[in-house]
């Protein structure tokens, strides 16, 4: 296969159009949301990271860096399936040029796979979806873990992970996988700072606290030892030794709900029955799946509790002289749920009032409502797998989480500026005077970037009136 390289030659293209020659190709350089998300991905260094990933490549064809950049863009596309998203993306030649595809690759593809007697099928241009899937399989899990760390680090360096309150929880992806994420929930929009994909239905049994510790250590290594102040954890991901390690080794406090069969909860219930707790009424608005509802509770707190034996023992091992916990007993009044009418929050921090402690736990719902629900419903994390083997899943989860973070940043004020900078970097021939949607024309060995109005003039169909500044208005020959 012979490659054709196009040089930037404005005058050569203009002369060819005036002679009536037909262009080889034409595309626009519009800046829509997809362009800007791709530009922000570039600005955050995601494409550079993917270019440097080692793979187990054993065949010729499109280089893996280009395939991985394409895969990293697919989560931004509306279609959820791999073939559907690829087909939609391949209909955007301007985006493909940004990613690094040459005009020849866009036109006829770049490898001999999926050739048919009647010629290459349309869905194989510039490459087949199976070629993209194969690229995912050629990257090992440990490599994806490194890509995860490299992709999150710029968010900390640019100050895009704001606040020091984090939450950890897991969600099932069918019956085969479970995704566990550590999410910064301080700001309006959550950012995923570390994650693990676990295999099997019992993948977490006996390992929950170990996964939590691993994710926290990763976040501290990326953002610094003082990046986290409070961890909101589900009971599944926090045991006594983990709480002691966080409190007395890392200086991180924890808020965690306690199961009803734990001694700490039973102690709080006993104090309530004995009239030794002072309850306060509190009402708040909770939003679930976009629906707001007012809830009423009564809360009471008690400090100095020592009935979590594993915490007390581990804390003393770290040199704590008087390890104890603060607990808040919550009684649901309206709406009443008999399954969780009474429940307890435990914390390594003594909160000033039970209401303050309860309110401090509420941001944990961001990880369910704004992270997992968004990933599953908006990003089709569970319904579209892109393949069945674990290697594909590890790669897909990494690319979607990185894209999720880029989208969260994109919606912020600083993210919009970074997206614009990324677009400018991607356009090698960026010209401000061309406007927001110039046209790229390929003729023979040259290409040119032209304003739409100038293109119409060259085609002898100039508009009657011009909106361009007088000094740069095109003149008819």
Name the residue with higher pLDDT: 450 or 219: 219
- Reading the block at residue 390, the tokens are 């674990």
Q: Is residue 42 part of a domain?
A: no
Res. 120: pLDDT tops 80: no
Could you count the other beta carbons within 10 Å of the beta carbon of residue 382?
16
Burial class (CB in 10 A: 0-12, 13-18, 19+), 428: exposed
Q: Collapsing DSSP states into helix, strand and coil, what is residue 409?
A: helix
Q: CA-CA distance, 264 to 344, in Å (whole number)?
A: 8
Q: What is the pLDDT of residue 49?
A: 94
**Top-ranked range on mean pLDDT: pick from 30-44, 308-322, 325-339, 441-455:** 308-322
- How much is the average pLDDT of 195-211? 72
Asked if the structure places residue 156 within a domain, the reply is yes
pLDDT confidence band for 191 (50 / 70 / 90): very high
Contact at 8 Å (CB) between 222 and 154?
no
More confident position, 79 or 412: 79
Name the token pair of 74.
Answer: 């697919």
The answer to the question of residue 386 being in a domain is: no
- The rounded distance, in Å, linking the Cα atoms of 185 and 370 is 9
Polymer length of the chain? 477
In a domain, 244, yes or no: yes
What is the predicted pLDDT for the residue at 433?
41
With tokens 């919550």, the residue in question is 330
Q: Is residue 263 part of a domain?
A: yes
pLDDT for res 5: 60
pLDDT tops 60 at residue 430: no
Residue with the bigger pLDDT between 230 and 110: it is 230
Q: What is the pLDDT of residue 476?
A: 54
Whether 207 and 154 have beta carbons less than 8 Å apart is answered as no
- pLDDT value at residue 59: 60
pLDDT for the residue numbered 290? 61
Determine the average pLDDT of the residues in 106-114: 59
Q: Tokens 């069945």 sit at which residue?
A: 388
Using 50, 70 and 90 to split pLDDT, how confident is the model at 455?
A: confident
Given pLDDT bands bounded at 50, 70 and 90, which one contains residue 418?
low
Element holding 177 (H helix, E strand)? strand 177-184
More confident: 3 or 215: 215
pLDDT in tens, 381-405: 888 888 888 889 999 999 999 999 9
Q: What percent of the chain has pLDDT over 90?
A: 42
Task: Identify whether 316 is part of a domain.
Answer: yes
pTM for this entry: 0.80
In a domain? residue 83: no
The pLDDT value recorded for residue 203 is 44
Segments forming the whole domain that contains residue 192: 141-377
Residue 182 pLDDT greater than 90, yes or no: yes
Average pLDDT, the chain: 82
For the segment 127-170, what is each residue's pLDDT rounded down to a tens digit? 888 889 989 999 999 999 999 999 999 999 999 998 999 999 99
* pLDDT at residue 222, rounded to an integer: 96
Task: Render pLDDT for 237-285 as a digit per residue (tens, 0 to 9).
Answer: 889 999 999 999 999 999 999 988 899 999 999 999 999 999 999 998 8
Report d(CA 250, CA 240) in Å as an integer.
15
Least confident of 217-231, 320-334, 461-475: 461-475
Give me 22's structure tokens. Answer: 């037909």
For residues 438 and 430, what is the distance between their CA atoms, to the nearest angstrom? 10
Question: What pLDDT digit, counting tens, does each position of 2-57 carry?
Answer: 445 667 788 888 888 888 888 877 776 655 677 778 888 888 999 999 998 988 77
Residue 3 located in a structural domain: no
Choose among 209, 236, 242, 215: nearest CA to 348: 242
Cβ contact 132:196 at 8 Å:
no
Helices (H) and strands (E) in the chain, counts: 19, 13
Identify the band that residue 201 occupies on the pLDDT scale cut at 50, 70 and 90. low
Confidence band for 465, pLDDT divided at 50, 70 and 90: low
Helices (H), 278-363: 309-317, 354-361
Range picked from 9-18, 96-105, 281-290, 434-443 for highest mean pLDDT: 9-18
How many domains would you assign to the chain?
1
Judged against a pLDDT cut of 50, whether residue 183 lies above it is answered with: yes
Segment 350-356 long-range contacts (CB within 8 Å, at least 24 positions apart): 350/303, 350/326, 351/301, 351/326, 353/280, 353/301, 354/280, 354/299, 354/300, 354/301, 354/328, 354/329, 355/280, 355/282, 355/299
Round to whole Å and give the CA distance between 228 and 178.
24
Tell me, what's the pLDDT at 288? 62
Q: Which CATH number characterizes residue 207's domain?
A: 3.90.350.10
d(CA 34, CA 60): 30
Question: In whole angstroms, what is the distance from residue 254 CA to residue 233 CA?
Answer: 7
């Amino acid at each position: 296969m012979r490659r054709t390289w196009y040089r930037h030659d404005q005058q050569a293209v203009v002369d060819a159009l005036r002679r009536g020659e037909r262009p080889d190709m034409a595309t626009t350089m519009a800046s829509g949301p997809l362009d800007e998300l791709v530009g922000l991905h570039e600005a955050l260094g995601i494409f550079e990271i993917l270019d440097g990933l080692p793979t187990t490549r054993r065949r010729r064809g499109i280089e893996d860096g280009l395939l991985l950049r394409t895969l990293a863009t697919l989560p931004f596309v509306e279609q959820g399936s791999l073939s559907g998203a690829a087909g939609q993306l391949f209909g955007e030649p301007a985006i493909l040029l940004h990613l690094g595809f040459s005009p020849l690759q866009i036109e006829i593809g770049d490898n001999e796979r999926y050739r048919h007697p009647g010629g290459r099928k349309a869905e194989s241009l510039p490459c087949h979806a199976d070629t993209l899937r194969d690229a995912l399989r050629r990257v090992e899990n440990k490599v994806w873990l490194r890509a995860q760390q490299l992709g999150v680090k710029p968010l900390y360096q640019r100050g895009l992970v704001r606040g020091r309150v984090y939450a950890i929880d897991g969600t099932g992806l069918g019956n085969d996988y479970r995704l566990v994420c550590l999410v910064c929930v301080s700001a309006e929009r959550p950012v995923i700072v570390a994650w693990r994909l676990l295999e099997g239905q019992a993948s977490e049994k006996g390992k929950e606290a170990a996964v939590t510790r691993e994710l926290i250590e990763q976040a501290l290594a990326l953002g610094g030892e003082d990046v986290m102040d409070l961890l909101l954890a589900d009971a599944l991901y926090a045991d006594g030794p983990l709480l002691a390690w966080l409190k007395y080794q890392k200086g991180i406090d924890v808020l965690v709900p306690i199961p009803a069969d734990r001694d700490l909860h039973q102690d709080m219930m006993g104090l309530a029955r004995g009239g030794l707790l002072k309850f306060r009424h509190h009402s708040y608005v909770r939003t679930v799946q976009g629906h707001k509802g007012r809830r009423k509770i009564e809360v009471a707190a008690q400090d100095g509790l020592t009935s979590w034996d594993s915490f007390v023992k581990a804390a003393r091992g770290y040199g704590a002289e008087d390890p104890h916990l603060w607990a808040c007993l919550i009684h649901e009044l309206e709406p009443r749920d008999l399954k969780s009418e009474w429940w307890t929050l435990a914390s390594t921090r003594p909160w000033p009032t039970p209401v303050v402690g309860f309110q401090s736990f509420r941001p944990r719902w961001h990880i369910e409502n704004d992270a997992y629900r968004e990933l599953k419903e908006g990003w089709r994390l569970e319904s579209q797998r892109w393949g069945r083997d674990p290697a594909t899943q590890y790669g897909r989860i990494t690319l979607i989480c990185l894209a999720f973070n880029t989208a969260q940043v994109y919606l912020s004020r600083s993210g919009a500026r970074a997206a614009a900078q990324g677009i400018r970097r991607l356009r090698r021939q960026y010209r401000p005077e061309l406007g927001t949607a110039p046209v790229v024309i390929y003729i023979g060995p040259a290409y040119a970037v032209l304003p739409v109005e100038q293109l119409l003039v060259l085609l002898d169909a100039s508009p009657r009136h011009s909106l361009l500044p007088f000094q740069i208005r095109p003149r008819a020959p």
